């Protein structure tokens, strides 16, 4: 199955990846090869098979007390921010 360059661009935009034209060409080939490989799953009859939505469904889900506990102090949470304004993360303007 061959992915077109347009399709690669569409997926890249969904994934918020900016790719160079060389990357687009290379990825179109690589992804097509991988998708060809995974097509072998079509050989299997999976009708009536439950998807594995949890790795160990038989094991009880742990619950914890609904109790207020301290969170990360704002300064520590913001310490890695590329840009901050007061107690906020700062980003380029969204609305022109």
Partner 1 sequence: MSAPALLDRSITDLAGALSRREVSSEEVTRAALARIEATDERLHAFLRVVPERAIASARGSDARRARGEVRSPLDGIPIGLKDIFLTKGVETTCGSRILAGFVPPFDATVVERLETSGAVVMGKLNMDEFAMGSSNENSAFGPCRNPWDLERTPGGSSGGSAASVAARQVFGALGTDTGGSIRQPASLCGVVGLKPTYGRVSRYGVVAFASSLDQVGPIARTVTDAAAMLGVIAGHDPRDQTSSLLPVPDYRAGIEEGARGLRIGVPREWLQGGSEAGVERRVREALAAYEAMGATLVDVELPHSRYGVAAYYLVAPAEASSNLARYDGVRFGLRAPARSLADMYGETRDQGFGAEPKRRIMLGTYALSAGYYDAYYLRAQKVRTLVRRDFDRAFERCDLVAGPVSPTVAFRLGEKVDDPLQMYLADVFTISCNLAALPGLSVPAGLHPESRLPVGLQLVGRPFDEATLLRAARALEREMGPSPAPEAIG
Q: Which residues bind partner 1 (CB under 8 A)?
A: 3, 8, 11-12, 14-20, 23, 27, 30-31, 33-35, 37-42, 44, 46, 49-56, 59-62, 64, 72, 76-77, 79-83, 89, 91-94
What lies within 8 Å, CB to CB, of 24 at 6+ separation is 5, 8, 9, 12
Name the E strands within 15-96: 84-85, 88-89
Tell me the closest approach of the beta carbon of residue 34 to partner 1, in angstroms: 6
Tell me the closest approach of the beta carbon of residue 23 to partner 1, in angstroms: 7
Task: Give dist(CA 35, CA 9) in Å, integer.
Answer: 17
State which residue, 2 or 35, has the beta carbon closest to partner 1: 35
- Give yes or no for a contact between 1 and 39, defined as CB atoms under 8 angstroms apart: yes
State which residue, 56 or 68, has the beta carbon closest to partner 1: 56
State which residue, 37 or 86, has the beta carbon closest to partner 1: 37
């Amino acid at each position: 199955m061959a992915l077109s360059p347009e399709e690669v661009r569409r997926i890249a935009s969904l994934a918020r990846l900016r790719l160079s034209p060389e990357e687009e060409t290379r990825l179109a080939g690589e992804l097509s090869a991988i998708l060809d490989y995974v097509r072998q799953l079509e050989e299997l009859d999976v009708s009536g098979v439950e998807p594995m939505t949890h790795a160990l469904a038989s094991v009880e889900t742990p619950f914890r007390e609904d109790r207020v506990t301290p969170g990360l102090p704002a300064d520590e949470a913001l310490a890695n921010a590329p840009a901050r304004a007061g107690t906020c993360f700062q980003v380029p303007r969204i609305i022109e």
